[in-house]
Structure 1
Amino acid sequence: MNIPNQRHNDEPKWPIGSEYLCGMGAGLLSVCITFPINKLMFRQSVWGFDAASALRQLRIEGIGYLYRGVGPPLLVKPLSSSVMFGSYNQFYRMLSTENNNVNGFDFQASLLASLLSGATEALIATPFERIQMILQDGRFNNQYTNMFDLFYQIRRYGIQEYYRGFRITVLRNGPSTFLYFCSLDYCEQKLFQPSSSSSSSSSTITTTTQINNQRITNEFMRKFITGAILGGTISTLIYPLNVIRTRIQVQPIGTKHMSIRQAFEQLYQERIGTSRSLVAGIHVNLFRSFLHWGCLTAISDFIRNKINYN
């Protein structure tokens, strides 16, 4: 399959790489918008609740606990998004060769860059995701004051306690990063055919500013829709991995570490034959992913254009 992707061929005009700043700004805004939805999904995936039961649980806890656990993602999501966008593009430029390019895209370099970028992101994000999982679980509301208290208490169990779920996080990040970057431009071209009418002046648009504003708005919406559809699809495909990762990372500190296989077997034994689903929360995850990846794609592209062309 030919996947046109001109972004890979464009060298960044900013010395440290505009992709890092793009991911950081987009990740920060996305966390603020999607955290309550993410917490609802978390409760479903941990306990196998339906959306109504999980929502009822959050309502009982009260509005004061709605954003409990937002600290770690607010710190790490902009950083991990920055690493994902920046390191992928840097690794791709390092690994890409003219001999392997097909229509401006090096499939092998993209795959290796995705795996390296996913591992780099996991190395940074896993300790914060571990903290976030515990803080979002209502069982620990009275046990830990905040993320700083939890970070301090975990230290006595060693570095491995911070990195519960590292392997499955890498397993999740690599393929999803590859599917996202190698499909982004291809999907946009399939979803939005070039319009010949865009060059003709409309009677309602009389100034250059209005024309530019309309062009920016149209471009933003195209990127948002493309990122939302692509991200929602990828997140749905890898959602079972997220359920297993959540089960691993929500274990109390100091307990025996759980392997990927053990987590899957535990979930299977608990939920098969009951009303609780192995993929509980997948519908909420789809909605959250639409918002998250739509914002991430559109905002990062907007920032990139501002940096590179202003």
Structure 2
Amino acid sequence: MTGSRDEEPSMVHLQSYLHGGTSSLLSTIPTLIVFPVYKTVFRQQIDNTSVHQAVGQLYKEGPVKLYRGVAPPLLMRTLNGTLLFGLQDTLLRQLSLSPQNIISTSALPALAGFGAGIVEAVVFTPFERVQNVLQNGQNDRHLPTLKTVLVRLKAQRLALGYYRGFLPITARNTLGSSLYFGLKGPICTVVAGQGLSPLASSFISGTLTSMAISLTLYPLSVLVANMQAQVGGEVKGVMACWRMLWHSRERSMVLLYRGGSLVILRSCITWGITTAIYDRQEKRSG
């Protein structure tokens, strides 16, 4: 009897990893559907073009290349949910049990999300690097396949190869995770108070939270895309890359936020579904 009691908290503890992975896996279906939208946004971030021009580029390249680079985000999406939700829950439990905790209980989910975001950046920066290289049409000739990209990046130092853009990714992921886990609960409570079902409340909560995060941190995503899209050439630091990006956008926030509306669409679909499925699984097992 004692053994089964000891195992029960461990099983509950591991369920958050399983639920996070399951919810993210199911959300890969809409991720696959909206990948052309994501790729359109990426082209706007790199080439500073309008939606019409970006779509025209993809149309000329043809349907075969349209889904070039889709494998990393699909794999990353599933693993990301497993790690992010599971690790945040693990850290939250540890923080809640700490006898010397001087932080407000309401702030603990955000703090745990911050810690999970750091680990997320360490694990998934290489995935994002490979994805951005594959999506850049300028690399099609000298890096035509996933294997050639992996070999080329492996030949370089980590800071220039797989971990190019690590600092802005860490900033984006830690802030994003903190905001997500800190806001989704309170927003869900407010929405549920309007008489909506728990599933609808979770979906709307995930949608609104991710929408706010995407818009707030969008400049960091643009910076990361520009830093990671090329392999080789002149290497510049984060601040130098930011100055170049800001100058290329004519010091205009409107131009910097090109593609932002499509990011909202993607966030509404993926994170809304992920949050709804995860919360539903957590309540069933609770």
Fold agreement, TM-score > 0.5: yes
Residues 78-101 of structure 1, C-alpha deviations (whole Å, 9 max, x = no match): 112211111111111112247647
What do you get for the CA RMSD once the two structures are aligned? 2.4
Structure 2 counterpart of 1:268:
246
Tell me the CA shift for residue 147 of structure 1: 2.0
Residue 137 of structure 2 corresponds to residue 158 of structure 1: no
Q: Is the 8 A contact 1:31 1:77 kept in 2?
A: yes
- CA distance in 2 between counterparts of 1:177 and 1:140 reads 31
Question: Cα–Cα, structure 1 residues 55 and 21, in superposed 2: closer, same or farther, change >3 Å?
Answer: same
Tell me the CA shift for residue 46 of structure 1: 1.0
- Structure 1 stretch displaced more, 254-263 or 280-289: 254-263
1:165-176 aligned at under 5 Å gives the runs 165-176=165-176
- CA distance in 2 between counterparts of 1:291 and 1:29 reads 12
Structure 1 counterpart of 2:43:
43
- CA distance in 2 between counterparts of 1:290 and 1:274 reads 26
- CA distance in 2 between counterparts of 1:48 and 1:275 reads 12
- Give ranges in structure 1 of 5+ residues lacking alignment: 1-10, 199-217
Question: Cα–Cα, structure 1 residues 52 and 220, in superposed 2: closer, same or farther, change >3 Å?
Answer: same
- Out of 21, 25, 41, the residue aligned to residue 24 of structure 1 is 21
Higher-RCO chain (CA-CA 8 Å, sequence separation at least 6): 1
Residues 102-136 of structure 1, C-alpha deviations (whole Å, 9 max, x = no match): 5xx342x4444222211100111100100000101
- CA distance in 1 between counterparts of 2:189 and 2:252 reads 44
More helix by share: 2
TM-score normalized by structure 1? 0.80
- Out of 238, 247, 250, the residue aligned to residue 226 of structure 2 is 247
- Give ranges in structure 2 of 5+ residues lacking alignment: 1-7
- CA distance in 2 between counterparts of 1:137 and 1:93 reads 41
Question: Cα–Cα, structure 1 residues 65 and 29, in superposed 2: closer, same or farther, change >3 Å?
Answer: farther
- CA distance in 1 between counterparts of 2:184 and 2:251 reads 39
Question: Cα–Cα, structure 1 residues 12 and 303, in superposed 2: closer, same or farther, change >3 Å?
Answer: farther
Q: Is the 8 A contact 1:228 1:289 kept in 2?
A: yes
Structure 1 counterpart of 2:64:
64
Structure 2 counterpart of 1:148:
147
Q: Percent identical across equivalent pairs? A: 31
Paired residue type of 1:224: F
Question: Cα–Cα, structure 1 residues 271 and 101, in superposed 2: closer, same or farther, change >3 Å?
Answer: closer
Q: Is the 8 A contact 2:139 2:230 kept in 1?
A: no
Tell me the CA shift for residue 174 of structure 1: 1.0
Paired residue type of 1:20: Y
Count, aligned residues: 273
